[in-house]
Amino acid sequence: MLTQRNATNISTNNLSSSLNTKLSNDGHGEDEENGIDLSERDAHRETCFDSKEPIMPNVNLGGTSYFQRFKLVARRVLANYGCLKPDSSKTESTGLIFRDSNFPFCKILCVTILGVFIAFTIFGYLTFVVTRNWLINSAPDFLVTQLVRKGILKHLLHQVIDRVYLYDLEKNEPKMFLGMDTSHDGEFTALVRHMLNNEDFYNYETFTTSSGKNEIRHTVVDIGAHDCLSGSNSFNFIKMGFDAILVEPFPNNMKLCKYNLERARKSFAGDKGAVRMKQRIEFVEAAITSQDGMAVLGNRDESDAWGMQFFVENKKSSLNLPSSQPQDEKLLKDSNDGKREGGILVKTMTFSTFAAQCNLPKKFTLLSIDAEGQDVNILLEMMKSGYRPLYLIYERLHGTGLKVEGMAKHGYKLVAERGWNQIYVYRGVGGGGGVDGK
């Protein structure tokens, strides 16, 4: 053991000597050029490398565990900072034996840090246990109590009861379909209740097949379909097998609409077991307005996806610009007299153009209009063009002046009001006059 220790010390001294020699020979020219006092630098090096108490004394670590090695290194680090003082007169095979430090503040600091760590560990564990027990035992009762006190639970129950429905889609099949009304204010439920008691509903819309046979169809046209799910007046009818033509000018909403309706498509058997022709779902990415062309569509509140509004072109702009022309960028900046920028340029078409493009029958089942202030213009053109949906959902939020008396002149009777929407049914009463109630 003595021989090994002497050899180790000799190797350490040789290493120290070689390092001192290398450091003393390197960089003399550079230090002199930078104006560094070489005598002070050499004195500092001599102090570092010729210390009688080396920072990490040579110790034989053979046969020691990882824990013992970690403990030894930790004690040596403390010794380097003066918290422990090595006793060079006593050694072991695992290293030096340390005696108490002359600097008791280090001990106090270490004990304080350890105590804080233990206290936080215990506090965290107790917090976890108490919180977990509260969540399991008391949180449900607390939440239900708050819901009852604020009347939220009652409103929620009413909504669920009012919106859940059973529907016999195929009369010859012994099965029922369970659904949830996704319309904003229960428009779908009000419509279905009226449809089931309306004899015109069952034979109002017919379709002539390639074989010359008339088939009963049901088509819903949703102008302003949004994402075709949230607050949609058409989603539930599509689930029931209605054909659908969905109009939405905003590209992101159209992507959501296609995604949400992917699972809603249906192909089902007719009354006599014959396979009915595939359900028709058509998407039209455009805005229905009073002209064919282009228009700027903006949002009054960019954080609110429901706040979509039209910003009509000013006098200097034209709705007939093709989308490929460079004036489109200028059109975005000039729209609405410069009050709104950052809108999107969308395709626009009149109702007549839209109907011809989609091969819309003159008589179809349902028209839902949420066209951000263009509702009256759409209705006026629809009436003049001879299209008559059996049911009509009209949003009166924008205060455009549409009155019940004006609709009655064209054979429409108000049967329900849900939130902002009015629901009309066509009674087949002809007559002149406009739909603006004037």
Q: Is residue 381 part of a domain?
A: yes
Q: Strand pairing of 206-208 and 214-216?
A: antiparallel
Q: Is residue 436 part of a domain?
A: no
**Cα 147 from Cα 143, distance rounded (Å):** 6
- Same-domain check for residues 241 and 380: yes
- Same-domain check for residues 133 and 21: no
Question: Alpha carbon of 386 to those of 2, 42, 221, 410, 422: distances in Å?
Answer: 115, 105, 16, 10, 21
- Same-domain check for residues 254 and 117: no
Q: Is residue 10 part of a domain?
A: yes
- Same-domain check for residues 213 and 333: no
Residue 229's Cα: distance from chain center in Å? 15
- Same-domain check for residues 255 and 374: yes
- Same-domain check for residues 337 and 392: no
Number of domains in the chain: 4
3-state secondary structure of 247: strand
Q: Is residue 93 part of a domain?
A: no
pLDDT in tens, 346-367: 899 999 999 999 999 999 999 9
* 157 against 296, higher pLDDT: 296
Choosing from 31, 51, 71, the residue where a domain stops is: 51
The CATH number of the domain where 244 resides is what? 3.40.50.150
pLDDT in tens, 248-286: 998 989 999 999 998 777 655 444 444 455 788 999 999
The model's pTM: 0.58
Which strands form 287-288's sheet, in the order they lie side by side? 287-288, 344-349, 293-299, 308-311
Please give the residue range of the domain that contains residue 23: 1-51
Strands (E), 103-242: 164-167, 177-180, 206-208, 214-216, 219-223
- Same-domain check for residues 21 and 124: no
- Same-domain check for residues 321 and 355: no
- Same-domain check for residues 228 and 370: yes
Q: How much is the average pLDDT of 339-350?
A: 74
Q: Is residue 147 part of a domain?
A: no
Choosing from 32, 51, 70, the residue where a domain stops is: 51
| 68-72, 217-221, 283-287, 288-292: least confident range | 68-72
- Same-domain check for residues 221 and 368: yes
Most confident of 83-87, 313-317, 380-384: 380-384
* 138 against 389, higher pLDDT: 389
Choosing from 51, 77, 93, the residue where a domain stops is: 51
